[in-house]
Chain A
Amino acid sequence: MAGPKYPGFDTLALHAGQSPDATFGARAVPIYATTSYVFRDSEHAASLFNMERAGHVYSRISNPTVAVLEERMAALEGGVGAIATASGQAALHLAVATILDAGHHIVASNSLYGGSHNLLGYTLRRFGIETTFVNPREPQNFKRAIRPNTRLVFGETLGNPGLDVLDIPAVAQIAHEAGVPLLVDATFTTPWLMKPFEHGADLLYHSATKFLGGHGVAIGGVLVDSGRFDWEASGKFPQLTAPYEGFHGMDFEEESGTRAFLLRARREGLRDFGACMAPMTAFHILQGIETLHLRMPRHVESTRKVVTFLDRHEMVESVAYPELASHPDHALAQRLLPRGCGAVFSFSMKGGREAGKQFIESLRVFSHLANVGDAKSLVIHPASTTHYRMSDEDLSKAGITAGTVRLSIGLEEAEDLLEDLDRALAAAQRGMKGA
């Protein structure tokens, strides 16, 4: 017999996390723009501080508007809970700082967003946490890099810039055999395209700035815990399984079981690092999530049209999109991403840096900027912007050519996007011939 039914994704995207406002009956999520909350009496205050009662004390730790976003994302991802942060980078830092100490080690995919690479490769190293970067295309690379002091395995569901598909089931198994969790950056896929916990990931985060918001008006992040990783059984995480002097001798796992990670992340991480999300930001992100299930199919549909167009264009050397049979992860994408491979991808143009610049400057609908996942279509030419100081040789090491262009396909009329690209490619081609 089939079990009783859970609410569907679309329903959760609109409702999860919010009970209609009890005081005024507001249907939309109210914006609780308050730093703090009045205690009923002294005993109530003491109980809140000592975690004997649920509730809010100070908005750096929790806020009712932010809590709606957190619960909604936990529901959409199938996690026990979530913590919203000031940015996606703050979410990654919070995950790492909650369970790793100086002297620990991370094994990470080398196919990462540049900001994540900076944090792991340079900044965390200053604090005694080392990272080994591996090619994610071969899961055994993760296994070979694991050391006795490894405490985290990390990758992106769809990696930068070549859209490497992380083999989450295989990498999760490797991580679990080593007694450590797998954390994934699920920004490019969103829970509509893939639910990493169903494939074995233990922790995930999003840059909510991207598709979750979709409007490009707010910076934010969300860290979600599956609650499935058994910290006690692993034996490698005294941060969660031994009394912690920094929180009155609390043993987080003993105290809360499946909620141990989030308990420490909130009560220590938000308390001490303070990278919390503002309630207005949570409201903005929630407005986006309420239409995520409508936007993502359109993003994917238009992306497929653009990919097909570019793949056949004479000015295009190659297109890196896992739905193409030419992509090395095509089969894996069919298995893990049947709904589509997102709306951010790169292609390589003929003609090098100059052609790339000419192309970018000829676009009218695509916006030239450093972001992805907006409702508006976006473009950037790494060789002339984010990576402009690099030689062609160094670009190659980063998986980029002088002609690489990254697109983020928005929600405009697809025909208008194709026309814009066609015109700009023609302009680049004319520039090449004239040179």
Chain B
Amino acid sequence: MEFTVDGRKVFAYTAAHALDAAKPTIVFAHGAGLDHSWFGLQSRYFGYHGYNVLAVDLPGHGRSERAPLATIEALADWVLRLLDAAKIERASLVGHSMGALTALECAARRPARVERIAFLGVAFPMRVSPAFLDAARNNEQAAYDMETIWGHAPQVPLGGNPNPGMWMYGDTLARLARLRPGVLYADLKACNDYAAGLESAAKVRCPALFVLGRRDRMTPPMGAQALAAAIHGARTVLLAPSGHSLMAEAPDATLDALIGFFREAVGA
């Protein structure tokens, strides 16, 4: 579904449903260099199970216009303006990696607008190696290779995609090949520069869930501990076989963790 934010056309996947003011809303925010379809299975599930779904293409990604935003804070403000455009006052947030930091910052800035928040594959600080940043700045293939290889658990290239017939490395590389130059660098720099994590975590007032991959090489589970400790009542689910790309590597376990978390809200 298309919306207009800051005068620019932006896109959010709604699982082919019109938004319904009577339903709770979940916003899905993707990670660096990716788009809404990274949450394909999970966002589709909630869209067909009683929720409004807004799986966004962040600015400069997928079908959303304009240049990528430079900071996590700017991304958070943009998500809040998208909610305005969609005429949604309160929503739950599911963020992956850069999207998780964005969700955190949304909840810190406007706690009254965030009902629940799920952080997938997150760490704070989310440091990006200088070599990775340099390669991304120069739009080198090496940056896409790092994103692809470090973005999955070590065993992934040797197989066993839960999604029949698909090769995860190839899928990630194909997505990155469609990126406009500079987008990956902008995303990585925003993650690397983000400094307000613990301060913002202390402002979160809603229930929070961390879903982390035990074999995550980009944001190892240890890197989320301080953030989780700073959010009152936050719980963590560790997915044993997964790396950073939880939604692709462990789609069912990720979905089950989210279903359990959101069912709590309705007392199911």
User: Is B177's CB within 8 Å of the partner chain A?
Assistant: yes
A53-B255 in contact (CB<8A): yes
User: Is A70's CB within 8 Å of the partner chain B?
Assistant: yes
The residues of A that contact B125 with a CB separation of less than 8 Å are: none
Q: Tell me the smallest distance from the CB of A262 to a CB of chain B, in Å.
A: 7
A230-B178 in contact (CB<8A): yes
A2-B142 in contact (CB<8A): yes
Q: Restricting to B149-189, which residues have a CB under 8 Å from any CB of A?
A: 149-150, 155, 157-167, 169-171, 173-175, 177-178
User: Is A80's CB within 8 Å of the partner chain B?
Assistant: yes
- Please report the C-alpha to C-alpha distance between residue A279 and residue B252 in the assembled complex, in whole angstroms: 24
Q: With A74-B167, A81-B165, A257-B175 given, is the CB distance from A52 to B158 under 8 Å? A: no
User: Is A51's CB within 8 Å of the partner chain B?
Assistant: yes
B142-A1 in contact (CB<8A): yes
Partner of B171, one of A16, A17, A258: A258
User: Is A67's CB within 8 Å of the partner chain B?
Assistant: yes
Which residue, of B135, B159, B165, B174, has the highest number of chain A Cβ atoms within 10 A?
B165
Q: With A50-B44, A53-B41 given, is the CB distance from A75 to B157 under 8 Å? A: yes
User: Is B37's CB within 8 Å of the partner chain A?
Assistant: yes
Partner of B166, one of A4, A63, A228, A259: A259
A255-B157 in contact (CB<8A): no
Give per-residue flags for A243-267: 1 if the beta carbon is below 8 A from chain B beta carbons, else 0. 1000011110011111100100010
Q: Given contacts A1-B135, A16-B157, list 4 more A-B pairs with CB under 8 A.
A: A18-B160, A75-B167, A227-B174, A257-B35
The residues of B that contact A68 with a CB separation of less than 8 Å are: 159
Give per-residue flags for A50-92: 1 if the beta carbon is below 8 A from chain B beta carbons, else 0. 1111111000001110111011101100111111100000000
User: Which B residue's beta carbon lies closest to that of A53?
Assistant: B252
User: Is B251's CB within 8 Å of the partner chain A?
Assistant: yes
A70-B159 in contact (CB<8A): no
User: Is B62's CB within 8 Å of the partner chain A?
Assistant: yes
User: Which B residue's beta carbon lies closest to that of A78?
Assistant: B170
The residues of A that contact B255 with a CB separation of less than 8 Å are: 52-53
User: Is B81's CB within 8 Å of the partner chain A?
Assistant: no
User: Is B225's CB within 8 Å of the partner chain A?
Assistant: no
A80-B166 in contact (CB<8A): yes
User: Is A149's CB within 8 Å of the partner chain B?
Assistant: no
B252-A258 in contact (CB<8A): no
The contact sample of 9 A-B pairs, CB cut-off 8 A, is A4-B149, A7-B158, A52-B42, A72-B159, A80-B174, A227-B170, A228-B174, A228-B177, A257-B175
Partner of B163, one of A54, A63, A72: A54
User: Which A residue's beta carbon lies closest to that of B40?
Assistant: A256
Q: Restricting to A7-31, which residues have a CB under 8 Å from any CB of B?
A: 7, 11-12, 15-19
The residues of B that contact A17 with a CB separation of less than 8 Å are: 159-161, 167
Q: With A1-B135, A15-B159, A19-B159 given, is the CB distance from A54 to B41 under 8 Å? A: yes
The residues of A that contact B252 with a CB separation of less than 8 Å are: 53-55
B167-A54 in contact (CB<8A): no
Q: With A15-B159, A256-B37 given, is the CB distance from A83 to B165 under 8 Å? A: yes
B164-A56 in contact (CB<8A): yes
User: Is A394's CB within 8 Å of the partner chain B?
Assistant: no
Q: Which residues of A are at the interface with B, using a C-beta cutoff of 8 A?
A: 1-7, 11-12, 15-19, 47, 50-56, 62-64, 66-68, 70-72, 74-75, 78-84, 226-228, 230, 232, 243, 248-251, 254-259, 262, 266
Q: Tell me the smallest distance from the CB of B258 to a CB of chain A, in Å.
A: 11
User: Is B265's CB within 8 Å of the partner chain A?
Assistant: no
Q: With A54-B252, A227-B171, A259-B166 given, is the CB distance from A16 to B159 under 8 Å? A: yes
Q: Tell me the smallest distance from the CB of A83 to a CB of chain B, in Å.
A: 6
The residues of A that contact B163 with a CB separation of less than 8 Å are: 54, 81
The 7 closest A-B pairs by CB, nearest first: A227-B174, A19-B160, A3-B145, A70-B165, A3-B142, A81-B166, A52-B45
Question: On chain B, which size bracket covers the interface?
Answer: 35 or more
- Please report the C-alpha to C-alpha distance between residue A55 and residue B161 in the assembled complex, in whole angstroms: 10
Q: With A52-B44, A53-B45, A258-B174 given, is the CB distance from A67 to B164 under 8 Å? A: yes
A16-B158 in contact (CB<8A): yes
A81-B41 in contact (CB<8A): no
Q: With A62-B164, A256-B37 given, is the CB distance from A74 to B170 under 8 Å? A: yes
- Please report the C-alpha to C-alpha distance between residue A83 and residue B166 in the assembled complex, in whole angstroms: 9
User: Which B residue's beta carbon lies closest to that of A83?
Assistant: B165
- Please report the C-alpha to C-alpha distance between residue A80 and residue B40 in the assembled complex, in whole angstroms: 15
The residues of B that contact A262 with a CB separation of less than 8 Å are: 165-166
The residues of B that contact A55 with a CB separation of less than 8 Å are: 162, 164, 252
- Please report the C-alpha to C-alpha distance between residue A227 and residue B166 in the assembled complex, in whole angstroms: 11
The residues of B that contact A258 with a CB separation of less than 8 Å are: 37, 171, 174-175, 178
Q: Tell me the smallest distance from the CB of B171 to a CB of chain A, in Å.
A: 5
The residues of B that contact A1 with a CB separation of less than 8 Å are: 131, 134-135, 142
Q: Tell me the smallest distance from the CB of A98 to a CB of chain B, in Å.
A: 14
User: Is B119's CB within 8 Å of the partner chain A?
Assistant: no
A82-B149 in contact (CB<8A): no
- Please report the C-alpha to C-alpha distance between residue A2 and residue B52 in the assembled complex, in whole angstroms: 43
Partner of A16, one of B16, B143, B149, B167: B167
User: Is B113's CB within 8 Å of the partner chain A?
Assistant: no
- Please report the C-alpha to C-alpha distance between residue A1 and residue B48 in the assembled complex, in whole angstroms: 45
User: Which B residue's beta carbon lies closest to that of A232?
Assistant: B63
- Please report the C-alpha to C-alpha distance between residue A246 and residue B166 in the assembled complex, in whole angstroms: 23
A50-B157 in contact (CB<8A): no
- Please report the C-alpha to C-alpha distance between residue A63 and residue B165 in the assembled complex, in whole angstroms: 9
B16-A250 in contact (CB<8A): yes
Q: Tell me the smallest distance from the CB of B217 to a CB of chain A, in Å.
A: 9
B162-A54 in contact (CB<8A): yes
The residues of B that contact A232 with a CB separation of less than 8 Å are: 63
Which residue, of A47, A84, A228, has the highest number of chain B Cβ atoms within 10 A?
A47
